[in-house]
Structure 1
Amino acid sequence: MENILGFVALLAGASACAGVLAGMLGVGGGIVLVPVLHFIFDHAGVSPDIAMHMAVGTSLTTIVPTSIVSARSHHGRGAVDFPLLKSFAPFIIMGVAVGSFLADSLRGQVLSLIFGTVALLVAIRLAVVRQETVAANRDGAVLKAISGFLIGCVSALMGIGGGTFSVAVLSKLGYGIHRAVGTSAAIGLLIALPGSIGFMITGWSVEGLPPYSVGYVNFLAVLCVIPATMLATPLGVRIAHRMADEKLRITFALILGAMAIRMLVTSF
């Protein structure tokens, strides 16, 4: 019972932080949850071969309701660009499908290394590159196709909602940070829903799964995480809309960099 209570308490605290970040930064919270879930599964005796897969799949499942709450909150403030979202959607979904099935063939340490490396690179870019001037033409059809596919694929491999990348891409296209954050919250749903289904399918017959798991998704963890993230997400949205663009961008970079370094250490 002590272990179960500790498991629930740790997840609840981490989930509340993840929910605030989900609303504040337009991410699904996975950037916080994946390292925490990996730590918990690893110390609960789950095989190192699948602990990271469990963390990624479970994280994607928890992002589904969180991204809905975050997107609705941002939409209420006029920060979700639906025509832009529609143009990205097909490429993102294709990327998620590829990433979900590719993850099954990779070792857990490789997934950890991918998570840490990519997240650190994005954090460095956000910290040193100022937001570009708004472009007169934001169509960028080829850029949207390529970046949408990559956002979906890499986000599925990392177990995140895609805000880590989509905010940077939308800024590159000339969108202001608040609109980029709001739209990326909606992109999170396009990644999390098919991604979580993919991880359930690929892990369906894997041996050594912890109790209450369907494939690489542990529903005991999901039930602990979702209430806390959903309650905390609107607070993050309010914080984001009270912050100046530059301050929000630097905050995003610092938090992302810290999580990236943590996962790189874990992978070695």
Structure 2
Amino acid sequence: MTIWWLAYIALGAFAGFFAGLLGIGGGSLMVPVLVMLFTAQAFPVGEVMHLALGTSMATIFFTSISSVRAHHAHGAVLWPIVLRITPGIIAGTLIGTHVASLVPTKALALIFTLFICYVSVQMIINLKPQPHRELPGALATGAVGAGIGFISCLVAIGGGVLSVPFMTWCNVKMQNAIGTSAAIGFPIALGGALGYIWNGWSVSGLPSGSMGFVYLPAMVGVAAVSVLTAPIGARLTHQLPVKTLKRVFAGILLALAGKMMWGLFSAP
């Protein structure tokens, strides 16, 4: 068991740092690694993807608290936007977790991998939408939030790869978009974690230590370290070559997603 705790701690350190640095929530890295770790521990093959998604969302809940505190200290969080988009976020996450609980593991893995390909291409070409307009009204912003929450729960991310481009398109400065995205990650993770716990509560055969689709030992190991490394990443956002790091990180994501897909689809 000790080796698994060490693996969770190492994952937490790496995911937390990049969550703070890039405002991505860390789920895009955590999910494929957790799938591989859970598979190695002989968890039910049909539920490893659900467990990885649920555990990742629960971990992002703690990471987002640490990350948003660091961004708030730098004055980068636009709280009026957070308050406006949160109701839609919560609704979208609850719907998204219910849908995810009904989708088979291999299909979820395919959805996740396709999304990672989108995220990676976005990072590699450093795509930045040009500002065209101001933020829409409360109803439209809530609808956008519902879409972000829904997709985020299907792929267990903090929503940064969706909310940052949206806010940038609406004339929000990049620094504020990243900081605000970190704050938006909190309701995404809260709604997502609760949804995965609820929808997995009555599922039989889950490993000991599970609370619904959240595997508590992994959550504790990853979260305990990620909350320490996320603020470090947030502080270094304007000091490190983020553009280069994004491209390296994108390559890592593609390799991990590919390895995860191979492992799941090659299994009997």
Q: Same fold (TM over 0.5)?
A: yes
For 2:72 and 2:64, the matched residues in 1 are separated by: 12
- Structure 1 Cα separation of the partners of residues 117 and 139 of structure 2: 26
5+ long unaligned stretches in structure 2: none
1:181 aligns with 2:178: yes
RMSD: 2.2
Cross-structure match for 2:219? 222
Corresponding residue to 2:119 among 119, 122, 128: 122
Identity of aligned residues (%): 37
- Contact 2:135 2:167 survives alignment (8 Å): no
TM-score by length of 1: 0.90
Is contact 2:22-2:237 (8 Å) kept?
A: yes
Work out which of the residue numbers 99, 105, 108 in structure 2 matches 1:108.
105
1:64-98 Cα shifts (integer Å, max 9, x gaps):
11101101100111111111112211111111010
Q: Distance in 1 between matches of 2:212 and 2:164?
A: 30
Distance 1:111 1:64, change over 3 A: same
Aligned residue pair count: 265
Q: Distance in 1 between matches of 2:210 and 2:75?
A: 38
1:17 to 3, 14, 18: 14
Whether the 8 Å contact between 2:152 and 2:158 is mirrored in structure 1 is: yes
SS class of match (2:236): helix
Deviation at 1:255, TM superposition (A): 5.2
Name the CA shift for 1:101/1:136 in 2 (closer, same or farther; >3 Å). Answer: closer
Cα deviation, residue 131, structure 1:
2.4
Q: Which position in structure 1 is the counterpart of 2:165?
A: 168
Unaligned runs of 5+ in 1: none
> CA contact under 8 A between 1:178 and 1:245: conserved in structure 2?
no
- Per-residue CA deviations over 1:166-215 (Å, capped at 9, x if unaligned) read 12222222323221111111111111111111111111121111111111
Relative distance call for 1:171 and 1:253 in structure 2 (3 A) is: farther
Is 1:148–2:145 an aligned residue pair? yes
TM-score by length of 2: 0.90
| Corresponding residue of 1:86 | 83
